[in-house]
Structure 1
Amino acid sequence: MTHYDVVINGAGMAGAVLALGLAGLRRPDGGRLSVAVIEAVRPEHDRHPGFDARSIALAWHSQTLLQRLGIWPALAPLATPITHIQVSDQGHFGRVAMHAAEYGVPALGQVVELQPVGSELHRRLTACENITLFCPDRIIRFEQHPERVTIALEGGAAFSTSLLAAADGNRSLVGQQLGVPRRQLDYHQSAIIANIATAEPHLGRAFERFTPEGPLALLPMSEGRSSLVWCISPGRAERLMAMEDNAFLSTLQRQFGYRLGRLTRTGKRHCYPLVLDEAPKPWHHRVVLLGNAAHLLHPIAGQGFNLGLRDVATLTDRVSQALAEGRDIGSHGVLSDYGRARLPDQAGMVNFTTALALLFSNNNPVLAAGRNLGLSAMAACAPLKSQLAWRAMGKR
């Protein structure tokens, strides 16, 4: 049976970046790790994603991690920098504005479109000599043994590995088969996602506006578009999804205001329920869950993928350290070290985003007064605002 040092289930951004990072590591004898990646969906190549492209926000620290892994130069041409962030509360005076120049960085973050980035990462996976890509394919069975995990695929391939990494989303097939306990919290909100065209150029500005029903964010994208994430009650979301485009834009305009002039066009709208879904202990015998497979967050601070990327960077570091020390990279000791290193950050970000979602998604007058005093204090106090800014940039 063929043996791979690491097998990764899922070739989304987290899984692909992990594969490329691990493939660059060397054993003490100079050889490189053998990595297999399993992905059920083949990406579309050589096609511009168009107006409706889905996107994610990369924090500044995530960009530095991708730079360290040698991946950022290929992604930089596909990114739109966030140079300004404005945070405000609808109907109240609290407001905070952050500018990249204040913190000596060229951008507070970057917005990347998933389709072209996915195509580029897939191209790199295919071109890497020590990565074997099974796509399209899926796991139908895996078994844990003391010194390995054996895996069988739908396409007929069978192999073993020292470490199985699950980067297959919050409905992780691997996590489900293992029965990994999960903690869930229903926020009683839904998120509407769409791309918006505006009369005025965004000039790299991102906006997060808190409304009584939930946060509303517009992030700068390529070709003058902005990416909308609007968190509202499920009933309101259902009504908004049923509206014609012009009625939807008019409603959004009333909530967002005219910071970017008139909203002129909306792309296809998507809607999904918002829940916290995390695995408090995201590792098992020779198996580790990372990214959304380990923790699905509220999008209020845009930190979901950034948290997952820190999982990837830490696992890569722990595997590299184990190789240098001659240790088994899938051993209990290595994965326990990884877990201890990641749990404080994971728990802290879960608590932070949950607290923000609960604090800024209601119209309680006491909480409204408190949060506006907090925003005003941050605007007036440079150290407080700096803490918020660096947290938004992904630096713990």
Structure 2
Amino acid sequence: MTHYDVVINGGGMAGAVLALGLSQLKQANGLPLRIALIEQSRPEHNRHPGFDARSIAIAGHSQYLLQQLGLWPLFAELATPITDIQVSDQGHFGQVNLQATDYGLPALGYVVELTPIGQVLYQQLQQTPAIDLYCPAQIQDWQQAQDTVTITLNNSSQLQGSTIANRQLSTRLLVAADGNHSPISRQLKLPRRQFNYQQSAIIANVQTAKHHQHQAFERFSAEGPVALLPMSQGRSSLVWCVSNTRAEQLMALDDNDFLAELQTIFGYRLGRFTRTGTRHCYPLMLDEVPKPWHHRVVLIGNAAHLLHPIAGQGFNLGLRDVAALIEQTRHLLSLSSTQHSAFAHANEHNQAQSTLADIGGYAMLSRYGQSRQADQATLVGMTSALALLFSNNDPLLAAGRNMGLNVMAACGSLKHTLAWQAMGKR
């Protein structure tokens, strides 16, 4: 049986960043942690569900976290900055404009396409000595014991692209980064909080007559919010949230008719919509595990919380999970290193154990869970409230929305609060 300090199931954004971040940590004996990452799809074949045609918004604070982890250089060349954000409500005058220059920043956030960043992260995982990349591979079975989790991989599993004979792994900590349909989460039967918004998100890359000039737009309508995020080559990433029935109608249209419908909702802030890429449609659900940890198992990213995309904060919340888990591990290893030195000094003729840290122990996971509860609860509550408030054609709610945007535009402190929220500051 091959033993690892941490095994991560799922090599999407959250799992890949976690593996690379943890690989930089040192045990008490100076050696790096032994990390295994299990992933069933290779992103270079464009089959990975976590690295599809979508783009993600990386908030300003998330860019800082990636920089602290030494990973921002992997993202920087693929990232399009957001220097301005316009928030408006269709049919009303209420509008808020946020500019990075007002806060002395080069950008409020960044937009990254998932397909190219998936390929970059996959290459980095392959090149990192502390990480064993099992891909393609799937967990066939896993069992929790007092000190370890034992994992059995399926017969077709490969390690670094080569077929393996030993499919048995053990670890002190199993991380479920395997998406909102997480098999690990389902097997644990952890309590979940779910809500069906009765909406779908239509995702596409679109071209406009005018260059976006690095401006992002959030446009609210009776049908639901429409977001345009700036991308490379003057393109924009569209996220259009509508009812399920309306989504079916829009997906059935040809490109010209689809763009005409979008033009009616969004207006001419960027001139005419001239082209759309392939459209994808995703049902929108709130799916949250309020206590996303168990004995030697922890859930991160979409496995722990799937949010409505109205605030564009899904990846940013998952990244804060990753950063917190890395920080808790670093703290534990630091304490262990101090204890290890004292142990070795008092027992000069004995071989000190490699590490006294119990990664995956109850103390560490409970500290991690407690550190994440408030942030998760706040963001889940905020996105759910926004989704219900801004996807409603009730005249009173529409008037309230419009008044709120006008007040926010006029009140500096409220506008600053919105800006800090957009940048992911907590």
Tell me the residue number matched to 2:370: 340
| Aligned-partner residue type, residue 377 of structure 1 | V
Whole-angstrom CA distance in 1 between matches of 2:262 and 2:195: 27
Match of 1:91 in 2: 91
Structure 2 counterpart SS, 1:152: strand
Shift of 1:54: 2.3
Q: Which letter does structure 1 place at the counterpart of 2:9?
A: N
- 348-357 or 318-327: bigger deviation: 318-327
Question: Which residue is 1:149 aligned to?
Answer: 149
Residues 163-242 of structure 1 correspond to what in structure 2 (within 5 A)? 163-242=173-252
Report if the CA contact (8 A) 1:80-1:110 is conserved: yes
> In the TM superposition, what are the counterparts of 1:72-111 in structure 2 within 5 Å?
72-111=72-111
CA-CA distance at 1:175 after TM superposition: 0.6
Q: Does 1:381 align with 2:408?
A: no
From 328, 331, 346, the equivalent of 2:358 is: 328
What corresponds to 1:276 in structure 2?
A: 286
State the alpha-carbon separation in 2 of the partners of residues 45 and 127 from structure 1: 18
RMSD: 1.1
Match of 1:251 among 261, 271, 294: 261
CA displacement at 1:140 relative to structure 2: 0.6
Describe the superposition over 1:44-89 as per-residue Cα deviations: whole angstroms up to 9, x where unpaired.
179xxxxx94211100111110001111012100010000100000
> Partner of 1:117: helix, strand, or coil?
helix
2:14 counterpart residue number: 14
- Deviation string 1:193-245 (CA, Å, 9 cap, x unpaired) is 01100000001010000001210000000111100000001111100000011
Alignment partners' CA distance in 1, 2:311 and 2:43: 28
From 277, 301, 312, the equivalent of 1:267 is 277
The one-letter amino acid paired with 1:361 is S
Matches of 2:333 and 2:362, distance apart in 1 = 15
Q: Distance in 1 between matches of 2:335 and 2:395?
A: 57
Write the letter of the residue equivalent to 1:353.
T
What is the aligned-residue identity percentage?
65
CA distance in 2, matches of 1:113, 1:60: 17
What CA distance in whole angstroms lies between the structure 2 residues aligned with 1:30 and 1:69? Answer: 19
Distance in 1, Cα, partners of 2:295 & 2:53: 38
Return 82-91 or 150-159, whichever deviates more: 150-159
Deviation at 1:371, TM superposition (A): 1.5
Structure 1 equivalent of residue 29 of structure 2: 29
Alignment of 1:285-324 (within 5 A): 285-324=295-334
- CA displacement at 1:169 relative to structure 2: 0.3
Matched letter for residue 78 of structure 1: L
1:34-53 deviation per Cα after TM superposition (whole angstroms, max 9, x unaligned): 0000000011179xxxxx94
Q: Does residue 1:65 correspond to 2:65, yes or no?
A: yes
- In structure 2, the residue matched to 1:41 is 41
Cα separation, 2, equivalents of 1:71 and 1:116: 15
- Extract unaligned runs of 5+ from structure 1: 47-51
Give the CA deviation at 1:180.
1.7
Q: Residue 204 of structure 1 aligns to which amino acid in structure 2?
A: H
The aligned residue for residue 134 of structure 1 is 134
Partner Cα separation in structure 1 for residue 98 and residue 42 of structure 2: 39
Q: Aligned partners of 1:134, 1:27: CA distance in 2, in Å?
A: 23
Change (3 A) 1:188 1:45: closer
Q: Is the 8 A contact 1:148 1:162 kept in 2?
A: yes
Residues in 1 aligned to 2:45 and 2:100: alpha-carbon distance in whole angstroms? 34
Correspondent of 1:363 among 388, 393, 396: 393
In 2, the alpha carbon distance for the partners of 1:16 and 1:320 equals 18
1:44 and 1:33 mapped to 2: Cα distance? 27
Residue 125 of structure 1: CA displacement?
Answer: 0.6
Unaligned runs of 5+ in 2: 47-51, 158-165, 337-356
Tell whether the 8 Å contact from 1:202 to 1:220 is kept in structure 2 after alignment.
Answer: yes
Contact 1:16 1:121 in 2 (8 A): yes
Q: 2-side partners of 1:181 and 1:74: how far apart? A: 36
Find the partner of 1:352 among 361, 369, 382: 382
Distance 2:279 2:148 in 1: 44
Give the whole-Å Cα distance in 2 for the aligned partners of 1:138 and 1:63. 31
Q: Quick check: 1:45–1:119 contact (8 Å CA) kept in 2? A: no
Aligned residue identity for 2:203: I
Q: Distance in 2 between matches of 1:135 and 1:125?
A: 11
- Name the aligned partner's letter for residue 248 of structure 1: F
Instruction: Supply the AA of the counterpart residue of 1:95.
Output: Q
Please give the per-residue CA displacement for 1:318-364, whole angstroms capped at 9, x wherever unaligned.
01111112231110110000000001000000000000001111011
Instruction: Determine the C-alpha separation between the residues in 1 that align with 2:379 and 2:54.
Output: 23
Q: Which amino acid aligns with 1:358?
A: L
Q: Distance in 2 between matches of 1:173 and 1:84?
A: 40
